[in-house]
Structure 1
């Protein structure tokens, strides 16, 4: 009987703490959604991208016809890989190939 009570009390403690974890996850998710609110950030939250990413997206739009998803991949790659700057400025498809994205 004592063992049963210990197991039961452990289950109750674990059950109550899992509820707190779920609430914390919900709060983070809500916060992230608010940060990417289309009314504030535009379609797909792209208006809330860092300034450097937005600058590379503008370059990519000028020099290539990329889908929005590929444009985003290109822009983030150009920010992360400073050594790709020449390709980022002249050949976005080369950057996409480095990322494993084909079809251009």
Structure 2
């Protein structure tokens, strides 16, 4: 499996007056994400600080390739309802892992 750095960004369905845990379908998105952690797809992840207001999170993701990764995340309730979108997928070679 390859590792990818995945950044996510707010989609057109993001409600700017609400916090991240107050977005529509938060519970379903959280359950979906927890399932990906349980399956070993998401290795690490969470909200990330940025100078760009659209940025939401950074994830370390294991998948066979970018196509598989995108197909997995296409099933996220937030992706289906355009609350969140994948902004960038970059191959990530880990040389150090202190976990």
Please give the range of the TM-score, normalised by the shorter of the 2 chains: under 0.3
The structure richer in strand per residue is 2
The structure richer in helix per residue is 1
Instruction: State TM-score, norm by structure 2.
Output: 0.26
